[in-house]
Structure 1
Amino acid sequence: MTDKTNDKQKHESKLIERQKEASLVRKIVLICFFVILLTIAGATYATYQYVVNAIGPVDESDEEMIEVEIPIGSTSTRIGSILEEHDLVSSGSMFRYYVRYKNEDGFQAGDYELSRSMSMDEIIDELKEGTIYEEYQLTFTIPEGRWLEEVTERIANETNLEKEELVELVHDEEYLESLIERYTMLSETILDENIRWPLEGYIFPARYDFVEEEVTAEQVIQAMLDRTAATLEEYNAGGSDMSYHEILTIASIIEGEARNDEEREIISGVIHNRLNIGMALQMDPTVAYAHGEHISRTLYEDLEIDSPYNTYQISGLPIGPINNPGAASIRTALQPVEHSYLYFYHAADGEVYFSETYSEHQQVLEQHRD
């Protein structure tokens, strides 16, 4: 046998071996493909089954009627929680997502009789056909960014309550401790003796309607705290690395600084950037709160005040919120826009200028400061 013959046989042998390897690889790839396909199909089916079960009746055979009260001003998050508490839906979160998916609204406050045999669609229909309170006996509105001191005065002006009664209640330690037990968002932090108003930041700015002609201070405070709790739950504040107190403190600074929603997002990013590098926040609204009076223009002598609220004198966040922020500020406190800005300046022309470095910021001041 010649060398050429041997080489030819070796070549053919290698070729056959390579073909076997290629065939094996194709089989492995094909098997992997089908495994992945089956896994995706299984996951999709499981998800589908979960959703179908979640929006279906909790128990088709249980037709016992359960009395449920939906308070005025309840969000879909709050309604979902109430339904879950009464075991009328398997998941309050799924109720909220389903309502959003179907773009449902128009839920009416009132008393309902619902059963566990009802599907989520049937419950939604019932909640939309409930009692409509067309004529409220008592209505007042709290704008965003107001100090709690101003809130108590506004409530007193528009209800049967006295400001002194409200002020005394929101400083009553026994009452505050009862609220801490009731609300997850509240902690012993609010009882710090250096905090001016324990519930500052926790009073949600919104319109409040009551069917009663006269209300108690406890009713009003509870309604406002309920709205804040529902908003924090809606934005999944419990899943944040920050405490509720820190979230509302940041939100209050955003509320004090921003003029519109676009600014809120960027200013939130500035605050987070400064906190991340250990840089003093140096936010003017905290200085005004430290002084206990609104300041139209912060002067250098104003910055000297010794206060746990003065972010020119302390590092990190102030001891607590400096006003009562709205939903947009709470959302942006949790969802800041990512950027590299560390400075901003509101000019007299109404524009806000953001800068990444101190030298850039100084140039902006030279160009736009009076």
Structure 2
Amino acid sequence: MSTSDHEKNNKAEMHNNNSQNSKQEKKDRFLKRSKEASTVRKIVLSLLLLLSILIVVGGVSGYFYIKNGLEPVNPSDDTKQTVTIPLGSSTSQIASILEDDGIISNDLIYRFYVKFNNVSQFQAGDYQLSPSMSLKEITEKLQTGVVMQDPVLSVTIPEGKTLEEIADLFEQHANISANQFMEKMKDQDYIEPLIEAYPEILSDEILAEDIRYPLEGYLFAATYQFYDENPSVDMIVHDMLEKTEQVVLNYLPQIQEKKSYSVHDVLTLASLVEKEARTQKDRKRIAGVFFNRLDKDMILQTDPTVLYALGEHKERVLYKDLEVDSPYNTYQTKGLTPGPISNFGENSLKAVLDPENTSYFYFVAAPDGSVYYAETYEQHKRLVNEHLKRSK
């Protein structure tokens, strides 16, 4: 073999070796990637399996939690015991009494059961109940009692009242300190459990930084009767929130149709309408004006918000008042106020949910209660000069 042939053979052998090494490296890399991919697949599958287990366990746990709350505490225990429902007890108080006495297993589930079935008019009295009774049987029984005495106190809260005005009314007529009442209204530790207890009407929106009082607008205008000479602030608040909830739940489907507006937004609008209008015709038309302005990204410019921002009652809003620096001043800030500026009447809520379809963008509420409407700013200025003379 010649030197040239030998060199050729060496080169061919080296080429083969390099080729084999390259193939081996590729094979090793492939095996490594396959092993890594297999590991990743195993981890992903493990995580998916774990997630599925957690979902199933959570769902099963939730199912049995609710199922257990809806079933009799002990179907085989027919032992009767006396359960006393005091006069003036709220639904949440009744539920707590039943759970404490072992008649129901979960007071929260019972409160939801009562709400979903639109149960009302529980009667005070002594009842013979047993752990074997169903929620339906217990509820029917609790509606048969006879109230044996008249209420000790009766307090009427009119529409359009702020929390501070409500506190004054309870101080005058129910032996409640207005300061004590308002301290509760500012206590976030007190408010947060209420959000959990009344989720259909209360949300974290009421805890927003700009909100003056979280429960402003949520204590319904009605006559409240008490069977205790010294009702607690907590008893009063629960009674009033339950009344608000009872009213709002009747309109919840209509509220949910207004997809851009939460319950909080709707009640805020209802409070603005409440403060501006006296008749249902004006309420519906003013609601229509507010929606027109909101749709056009116009400021609402409604005087009651200025008064709320000032924190005082005045017969007339002056031009200088319109400059007050507050998120509640709708002459300075766009959109709705951070929350309601007073409680609302049911008619104002209806007006917001079924406003008049109008072309008006302006209105003037005169001191005598008459309301004048305009489509253009020029028309509005003329009406202001005629019916609402402001001073500097």
TM-score range, shorter chain: 0.5 to 0.7
- Structure 1 residues 185-334: aligned runs within 5 Å: 185-236=201-252, 239-240=256-257, 241=259, 242-334=261-353
Q: Secondary structure at the match of 1:331?
A: helix
Verify the 8 A CA contact 2:87 2:227 in the aligned structure 1: no
Compared with structure 1, are the counterparts of its residues 93 and 218 closer, same or farther at alpha carbon in structure 2 (3 Å cutoff)?
Answer: closer
Compared with structure 1, are the counterparts of its residues 274 and 68 closer, same or farther at alpha carbon in structure 2 (3 Å cutoff)?
Answer: farther
Gaps of 5+ in 1: 1-61, 76-84, 97-104
2:172 maps to 1:153:
no
Offset, 1:277? 1.2
- In structure 1, the residue matched to 2:19 is none
- In structure 1, the residue matched to 2:363 is 344
In terms of Rg, which structure is larger? 2
Offset, 1:349? 5.0
Offset, 1:166? 1.2
Offset, 1:216? 1.3
Offset, 1:289? 0.5
Q: Secondary structure at the match of 2:373?
A: strand
Distance (Å, rounded) in 2 between the aligned partners of 1:159 and 1:346: 35
Distance (Å, rounded) in 2 between the aligned partners of 1:167 and 1:86: 30
User: Deviations along 1:345-368, whole A, 9 cap, x unmatched?
Assistant: 123554211222223323433444
- In structure 1, the residue matched to 2:197 is 182
Compared with structure 1, are the counterparts of its residues 93 and 260 closer, same or farther at alpha carbon in structure 2 (3 Å cutoff)?
Answer: farther
Verify the 8 A CA contact 1:108 1:132 in the aligned structure 2: no
Verify the 8 A CA contact 1:140 1:158 in the aligned structure 2: yes
- Structure 1 residues 45-194: aligned runs within 5 Å: 109-110=123-124, 127=143, 130-132=145-147, 135-184=150-199, 185-194=201-210
- In structure 2, the residue matched to 1:17 is none
Identity over aligned pairs, percent: 39
Distance (Å, rounded) in 2 between the aligned partners of 1:72 and 1:222: 11
Compared with structure 1, are the counterparts of its residues 92 and 113 closer, same or farther at alpha carbon in structure 2 (3 Å cutoff)?
Answer: farther
Q: Secondary structure at the match of 1:131?
A: coil
Count of equivalent residues: 292
Q: Secondary structure at the match of 1:186?
A: coil
Compared with structure 1, are the counterparts of its residues 326 and 134 closer, same or farther at alpha carbon in structure 2 (3 Å cutoff)?
Answer: farther
User: Deviations along 1:212-254, whole A, 9 cap, x unmatched?
Assistant: 2221111111111111111110111652421121111111111
RMSD between aligned residues:
3.8
Compared with structure 1, are the counterparts of its residues 363 and 217 closer, same or farther at alpha carbon in structure 2 (3 Å cutoff)?
Answer: same
Mean Cα deviation higher: 260-269 or 65-74: 65-74
